[in-house]
């Protein structure tokens, strides 16, 4: 992937919205649709799935135990992640706004949770070039649903 292609992906709010939907949909499925991810869980998603090395390492992993195994096998996955989360915050917010506006996601003000509103994957997510990114977002949604925010921050070396 060229630098220009990578920049276009990163700046594409529509792709970001689909990625955040895929993450949230998997998270909600694992919680049996009783809860959605709080906003802090969504902040590292785009910086991780728009990072080629991370996608390469997690897109084909098994869902169970995959996060810890991926981190153990490649300790560079979290390198500069905290900084990338901060740098990606505007793109994440644009993607969230688009996802809310298009009905992919909704926000529950009482619980502070994000909910996936659509069941089927949007057509943008079916593109062969995008499938590894979506697969990575789904795995992150599964993995993040199984751990608390303190563990997540510890594993990924994040500070909110």
Q: Render the burial of 57-80: b for 16+ CB within 10 Å, e for the rest.
A: bbbebeeeebbeebbeeeeebbee
- Residue 3 near residue 115 (C-beta atoms within 8 A): no
Tokens at 40, concatenated: 């802090």
Q: What are the start-end ranges of the H helices in 11-105?
A: 13-30, 39-42, 45-49, 52-58, 66-73, 81-101
- Residue 155 near residue 68 (C-beta atoms within 8 A): yes
Host domain of residue 151 = 3-156
Which letter does DSSP use for residue 38 in this model?
A: B
Phi-psi region of 36 (alpha: psi -120 to 50; beta: other; left: phi over 0): beta
Say what the pTM is.
Answer: 0.88
CA distance 87 to 32: 32
pLDDT digits (tens, 9 = 90+) for 19-54: 999 999 999 998 877 889 999 999 999 999 999 999
Query: How many structural domains are present in the chain?
Result: 1
pLDDT digits (tens, 9 = 90+) for 82-140: 999 999 999 999 999 999 999 999 999 999 999 999 777 766 556 778 899 999 999 99
- CA-based radius of gyration for the chain: 14
CA distance 104 to 24: 10
């Amino acid at each position: 992937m060229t630098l220009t292609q990578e920049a276009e992906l990163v700046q594409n709010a529509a792709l970001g919205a689909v990625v955040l939907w895929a993450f949230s949909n998997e998270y909600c499925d694992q919680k049996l649709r009783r809860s959605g991810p709080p906003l802090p869980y969504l902040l590292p998603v785009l910086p991780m799935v728009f990072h080629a090395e991370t996608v390469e390492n997690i897109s084909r992993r098994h869902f169970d135990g995959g996060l810890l195994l991926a981190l153990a096998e490649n300790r560079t996955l979290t390198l500069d992640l905290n900084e990338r989360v901060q740098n990606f915050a505007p793109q994440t917010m644009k993607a969230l706004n688009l996802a809310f506006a298009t009905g992919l996601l909704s926000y529950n003000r009482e619980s502070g949770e994000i909910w996936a509103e659509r069941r089927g994957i949007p057509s943008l997510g079916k593109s062969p070039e995008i499938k590894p990114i979506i697969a990575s977002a789904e795995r992150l949604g599964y993995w993040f649903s199984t751990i608390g925010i303190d563990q997540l921050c510890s594993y990924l070396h994040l500070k909110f």
